[in-house]
Homo-oligomer: A and B are copies of this chain.
Amino acid sequence: MGLPTIGFIGTGVMGKSMAGHLLQAGYSLQVYNRTKAKAQELLDQGAAWAASPGDAAAACDIVVTMIGYPKDVEEIYLGDGGLIARAQAGTILIDMTTSSPLLARRLYAAGAEKGVRVLDAPVSGGDVGARDGKLSIMVGGDEEVFQKAAPLFQCMGTNIVLQGPAGAGQHTKMCNQIAIASNMMGVCEAMSYAVKAGLDPNRVLTSIATGAAASFSLSNLAPRMLRGDTAPGFYVKHFIKDMKIAIEAAEEMSLILPGLLQAKALYEKLAAAGHENSGTQALYLLYSGE
């Protein structure tokens, strides 16, 4: 038995790198993207073009999706002629988009009615992690299906954990985003305080970046803030989407998260000021008043 055939829906910055690793590992790929031009590089490397997500689902053993927003996920999976409608029994569908845990459970249930197996498997690690095949992949779904998909995950990531049943991958990704959200405020506030107090903020980092205040954001994003580099590693607009999902999910669990609510309010203010396509480190602009 040869390798399973793979459909890959969504070839943006992240998806392109992830699909590329599958091609390099020898998988036969059908790709689809709303803007076909963004799939060209993969087509040049030997991927086939699928006329629609549904066509890919009808033709492939496993379909991976890496798209934008929960509403896109809902449409592509549950819409007429979508993935679940067109997939044959036994097909595995893997949503690697950061999306709603509740929606992930709906996709799982809708798939189950047709014998289609669905995993939620959002990632962290950003464009660099995707490019280097070093993503953290947080998976929700059935153990047996996870085992079948594991070889694909291993092409894309290094930290691959089955977190629990359907939705658990998305919930885990929410934990990741929740931890980042408040920390971004702390990093921005520490750096803006340093500047206002007349300190050399880079020298401050030499004192604080390796102790109890240490964080990925302090080491990696604070230097970008200080040199005015707002280029997107991770878009403000996507972070806001994630925080909204997390807040909605938390509210349904009667959990109040004041730090997250505060961070979301600040990021929405930042987006309203025209920075929705900047990187998340642009939050510093709100504090520095630039």
Contacts and interface: CB of A to CB of B under 8 A. Distances in A.
Contacts of A180: 186, 212-213
A32 B170 CA distance: 56
Contacts of A176: 190, 207-208, 211-213
A182 B193 CA distance: 14
A181 B188 CA distance: 12
A98 interface: no
A3 interface: no
A181 B175 contact: no
B216 A211 contact: yes
Given A179-B187, A186-B178, A212 B164 contact: no
Interface string A156-179: 000101011001100110111111
Contact of A193 (B138, B164, B178, B198): B178
Contacts of A255: 192-193, 196, 287
Interface in A55-106: 101
Given A101-B197, A163-B204, A259 B249 contact: no
Interface residues of A, number: 68
Interface string A120-138: 0000111001000000101
A124 to B, nearest CB: 5
A13 to B, nearest CB: 15
Interface in A100-158: 101, 124-126, 129, 136, 138
A258 interface: yes
A179 B163 contact: no
B124 A208 contact: yes
B197 A253 contact: yes
Given A124-B212, A192-B255, A215-B216, 7 more contacts: A125-B211, A136-B208, A172-B208, A182-B183, A183-B183, A183-B215, A258-B262
Q: Which 3 pairs, one residue from A and one from B, show the smallest C-beta to C-beta distance?
A: A182-B186, A185-B259, A215-B215
16 contacts: A138-B208, A159-B207, A163-B204, A172-B208, A175-B208, A178-B189, A179-B190, A185-B259, A189-B259, A192-B255, A192-B257, A193-B255, A197-B253, A257-B287, A259-B259, A259-B263
